[in-house]
Amino acid sequence: MSRADLLRLGGLSLAAALLVLTIFLPYWSITLHAPQYPKGLTINAFVHEMRGDVSEVDGLNHYIGMIKLETAASLERTVSRIAIPIIALLALLSFWVQGRWRWLLATPAIIYPVIFAIDLFSWLYYAGHALDPKAALSSSIHPFTPTILGTGIIGQFSTVASFGIGYYLAVLSAIIVLAVTIRGRSRDVSPS
């Protein structure tokens, strides 16, 4: 095995390990601030669960007719612990194939962070637009989309949302897989 091949394999191994590690790290968080909550209420979204002030936020969401946090992305949270290691394994296996097969195996790892962000946004949109009209305070709030990144306002709450270390490591993993796959492509087409 050449030095270049060892570097490619090392890069893919690192990318796969980083991607699997993200299962245990937060991907996204939002903190709600209001006078009655001086320390704020924070939700940390992992790929398989929500942590933090979940029950308090669910209680507040109930008054405006939002869905419970546990019902959002239930399919995604269920399959993530299986899907992420499979995506990592496919990226690693791309080392041993060439051409289209290399890209086919690498693509899930490359596009995964984008798919996560799109899915997160779609759930935020749904949660803020599928409000129960029978909720106690439903008339006091109009449909909205919670901010995916940065600051926002939800009723009397100011919010700060950001991606977490898990998401950024998934992005780093995707960049590594993309770079190694592009480098592998140039080796496929160059004369030996």
CA distance readout (Å), 192 to 97, 142, 147: 16, 64, 51
Q: Average pLDDT for residues 107-117, to the nearest whole number?
A: 99
Tokens of 112: 């995964």
Distance of CA 131 to the CA centre of its chain: 24
Instruction: Output the average pLDDT for the chain.
Output: 94
Residue with tokens 């320390």: 39
**Other CB atoms within 10 A of residue 122 CB:** 12
- DSSP-based three-state secondary structure for 95: helix
Q: Average pLDDT for residues 146-150, to the nearest whole number?
A: 96
pTM score above 0.85: yes
Give bridge partners of residue 120 from the DSSP assignment. none
Query: For 13-43, what is each residue's pLDDT tens digit?
Result: 999 999 999 999 999 999 999 999 989 999 9
Alpha helices (runs of H) in the chain, residue ranges in sequence order: 3-21, 54-64, 74-93, 99-129, 165-189
- DSSP-based three-state secondary structure for 148: coil
Q: Is the pLDDT of residue 172 over 80?
A: yes
Q: Is the pLDDT of residue 187 over 70?
A: no
